[in-house]
Amino acid sequence: MELSTIHGLRDLLANREISAEELTNQALEKIEKIDDKIKAFVTVTKDEAIQVAREIDQKRSKGESLGPLAGIPMALKDNMCTEDIKTTCSSKILYNFIPPYSAKVYEKLLGAGSILLGKTNMDEFAMGSSTENSGFFPTCNPWDLNCVPGGSSGGSAAAVASGEAVFALGSDTGGSIRQPASFCGVVGLKPTYGAVSRYGLIAYASSLDQIGPFTRDVTDCALVMNAITGHDSFDSTSALVDYPDYTRFLVNDIKDMRIGIPREYFGEGIEPEVEAKIREAINKLEELGAVVEECSLPHTQYALPAYYIIAPAECSSNLARYDGVRYGLRVEDADDIVSMFSRTRDQGFGIEVKRRIMLGTYALSSGYYDAYYLKALKVRNLVKQDFDKAFEKFDCLITPTAPSVAFEFGSKADTIAMYKQDVCTIPINLAGIPALSLPYGLVNNMPVGLQFVGKAFGEGNLLRVAYTLEQNSDQTRLEPSLEGVK
């Protein structure tokens, strides 16, 4: 039996048709069989996973109360701290780091009964759009091993798409959940900033980072959201609001819902075949009863440059802690402490991380702070105001998730071309609002992602629209053949 959805496997587990240990062994066997080609995982926690699975089976046999995800195998992006399990951020500078505590989301998933299979590969410190910037190795797209899985959460997306894990968590700073979800043909949700605790998430850009799920379908997305959302006193940016049961939004009905189509997301840079698939999905939603209308988000064109001031500035500050003194890599043969600092950082960080640290340090430097960083923050506010105005009229917005389907390794060697891969996702992070990527058909035999954008804490509307489209279209459930992998 192939690994399937959370809701399908949960019924099999509850009816004792399969045990948690059997399911976990099945997942581990698949990882052992195909991950040498996919390379989704940095660390596999085989012994720990089997032990937890046995404990869950024992509790079930005794009739004890179990969590909503009991027995379901999952994976975590390797920038989420896991006590006593290596957490590297796919960086040489943290190659041997074992955290003394766990991220809040990991604690929540353990409490819900989920089983950690391992930690997934990523662009180093979450900086990239292809997972080519991993300090260890690139991850391959299960649809085509010559193509990237997207980034920075490429390992998590590839693990779910290939069936190595039932679901996974990633982090999204400028599109790092939604873009790889699009490239790999799975569901990916970036929640509202503050809806999911960032405690234990190793920071890239603290005002933009947000943890969210990768799943096989929309129902599973709602189930994982139920497990990971909520206020956390250990996270000062965590929102103290009432969080709903997200499964109650899984309603096959969008009659009279108002959907906006921002014209700025269908301009230069969007591949015509991708745009055609998105418009096909929009027409389908209109057939299903939605009221669709074009709209404008006029400051969208400034989002990308503003992001590449704000995110590197925060990165420069956050990554200053990696100095070879407290944890991770240390160059031993330095002549003095200053030499040790500089040589450790030079050897420990990759090219893209160094680039962003330098960009951010420059933007924050004396004489340039007002000209660059402060101006970028003002632009960020204008982008947010555009969305606020749009949501006075619309229940959700629809855009492409990415301007193209997955591309071949090395084909975006130009830095600007790579940065433009996040042109459809970055504005959402600047505004702090939720967005969901849903697979919708293929272009050149590779998945296309459809992005639903909602107002703050409006994840329910996104789930409702995506679920309705999923129930009424055969283009939303995509499965790679894994040719050349098995």
Q: Is 62 exposed, middle or buried (0-12, 13-18, 19+ CB in 10 A)?
A: exposed
Q: Are strands 167-172 and 187-190 parallel, antiparallel or unpaired?
A: unpaired
Is the bond leading into 61 cis (omega within 30 degrees of zero)? no
Query: CA triplet 459, 231, 193: central angle to 5 degrees?
Result: 45
Cα–Cα dist 308/301, whole Å: 13
pLDDT value of position 486:
64
**Residue positions counted in the chain:** 486
pLDDT of 2 reads 64
Q: What pLDDT, on a 0 to 100 scale, did the predictor assign at position 481? A: 87
Sheet holding 187-190, edge to edge: 41-44, 115-120, 73-77, 167-172, 210-215, 187-190, 435-443, 446-453, 396-400, 258-262, 291-295
Instruction: Give strand ranges (E) for 419-482.
Output: 435-443, 446-453
Cα separation, 159 vs 157, in Å, equals 6
User: Is residue 344 a contact partner of residue 326, using CB atoms and an 8 Å limit?
Assistant: no
The residues annotated as belonging to the active site are: 77, 152, 176
What integer pLDDT is reported at residue 167 of this predicted model? 98
**pLDDT value at residue 482:** 87
What is the model's pLDDT at position 349?
A: 96
Q: Which of 116, 46, 38, 36 has its CA nearest to residue 81? A: 116
CB proximity list for 382: less than 8 A, separation 6 or greater: 299, 302
pLDDT at 283: 98
Please give the chain's pLDDT, 486 residues, in tens.
Answer: 467 899 999 999 999 999 999 999 999 999 999 999 999 999 999 999 999 999 999 999 999 999 999 999 999 999 999 999 999 999 999 999 999 999 999 999 999 999 999 999 999 999 999 999 999 999 999 999 999 999 999 999 999 999 999 999 999 999 999 999 999 999 999 999 999 999 999 999 999 999 999 999 999 999 999 999 999 999 999 999 999 999 999 999 999 999 999 999 998 889 999 999 999 999 999 999 999 999 999 999 999 999 999 999 999 999 999 998 888 899 888 888 899 999 999 999 999 999 999 999 999 998 889 999 999 999 999 999 999 999 999 999 999 999 999 999 999 988 999 999 999 999 999 999 999 999 999 999 999 999 999 999 999 999 999 999 999 999 999 999 887 776
